[in-house]
Amino acid sequence: GQQLNQSPQSMFIQEGEDVSMNCTSSSIFNTWLWYKQDPGEGPVLLIALYKAGELTSNGRLTAQFGTTRKDSFLNISASIPSDVGIYFCAGQAGLRGAQKLVFGQGTRLTINP
Amino acid sequence: DSGVTQTPKHLITATGQRVTLRCSPRSGDLSVYWYQQSLDQGLQFLIHYYNGEERAKGNILERFSAQQFPDLHSELNLSSLELGDSALYFCASSGNAGDEQYFGPGTRLTVT
């Protein structure tokens, strides 16, 4: 089955630093999504990417759909305490009408003030 | 607030029992997806319904079943519960199959 490798698994940074994380897949995806999950809450959609090479920003967050369609990247600039949480990438493939999301294992972000 | 609601928020039950989790999608969304999140396994796709019809299945156990009703709400039924079924169960909805999915707050199931 399809698998996503997300790295790094965890990050410990200082407030104000930039953050980069990525996901790679063994197969092609049509859509890449990035979510953030706080403890005990549901994942919240941050950015959606639909085209190879697409670069999309949402405030301090920027994500890219890799040109091979097998990878995606998320960058967070000037991190702040509320950025703490687990970030998941998710890839979507399959025939329209019968698609499912495959999730990466998550990147746990911890920020030291 | 994603607009997706799930009840109950917490559920504690014993092994061998059966429970029903409920999900109401965002207004106007036709697709409902169910996911299981265990501590050691991340988010696993279970099943997808679109406008009342099953569209895709993931690693859903035979002891689990789901349905989507005419008003588009969905229920996930878990039977013959085992300790290993303890997890967070999320539903998500989207306008059309293949669109961005928005997640509910989840139901935390504890099987004792």
Residue B103 touches partner A, C-beta closer than 8 Å: yes
- High-pLDDT (> 70) share of chain B, %: 96
Q: How many residues does chain B have?
A: 112
Q: Which residue has the higher pLDDT, B38 or B41?
A: B38
Whether residues B101 and A33 touch (CB distance < 8 A) is answered with yes
Of B2, B50, B100, nearest to A97 by CB-CB distance is B50
Whether residues B56 and A31 touch (CB distance < 8 A) is answered with no
The answer to whether residues A37 and A88 touch, using CB atoms and an 8 Å cutoff, is: yes
Q: What is the pLDDT of residue A40?
A: 84
Chain A residue numbers with beta carbons less than 8 Å from the beta carbon of B58 are: 100
Q: How far is B102 from chain A (nearest CA, A)?
A: 7
**Terminal CA-to-CA distance of chain A, rounded, Å?**
41
What b/e readout covers A75-88, taking b as 16+ CB neighbours within 10 angstroms?
ebeebeeebebbbb
pLDDT single digits (tens) B55-107: 889 889 999 999 999 999 999 999 999 999 999 999 999 986 567 899 999 99
Q: Which two tokens stand for residue B70?
A: 């005419």
Using alpha carbons only, what angle is made at residue B70 by residues B101 and A99, rounded to the nearest 5 degrees? 30
* A35: number of Cβ within 10 Å: 26
Chain B residue numbers with beta carbons less than 8 Å from the beta carbon of A88 are: 42-43
In angstroms, the CA A18 to CA A83 distance is 11
Question: What Rg do the C-alpha atoms of chain B give, in angstroms?
Answer: 13
Q: Which two tokens stand for residue A19?
A: 């953050």
Three-state DSSP at B35 gives strand
Whether residues B55 and A41 touch (CB distance < 8 A) is answered with no
Q: What is the pLDDT of residue B53?
A: 94
Q: At a CB cut-off of 8 Å and minimum separation 6, what does B48 contact?
A: A98, A99, A100, B31, B32, B33, B34, B54, B55, B56, B57, B97
Q: What is the pLDDT of residue A98?
A: 57
Smallest CA–CA distance from B91 into chain A, residue: A42
Residue B34 touches partner A, C-beta closer than 8 Å: no
Three-state DSSP at B83 gives helix
Q: What is the pLDDT of residue A48?
A: 93
Bond before B8 cis per omega within 30 degrees: yes
pLDDT single digits (tens) B5-14: 999 999 999 9
Of A40, A45, A102, nearest to B102 by CB-CB distance is A45
pLDDT single digits (tens) B51-69: 999 988 988 999 999 999 9
Per-residue pLDDT of chain A (113 residues; tens, 9 = 90+): 567 899 999 999 999 999 999 999 988 998 999 999 998 899 999 999 999 999 999 999 999 999 999 999 999 999 999 999 999 999 987 665 556 788 999 999 999 87
Three-state DSSP at B50 gives strand
pLDDT single digits (tens) A67-82: 999 999 999 999 999 9
Q: What is the pLDDT of residue A63?
A: 98
Q: What is the pLDDT of residue A101?
A: 83
Query: Counting Cβ atoms within 10 Å, is residue B85 exposed (0-12), middle (13-18) or buried (19+)?
Result: buried
Q: What is the pLDDT of residue B40?
A: 63
Q: How many CB pairs under 8 A join A and B?
A: 63
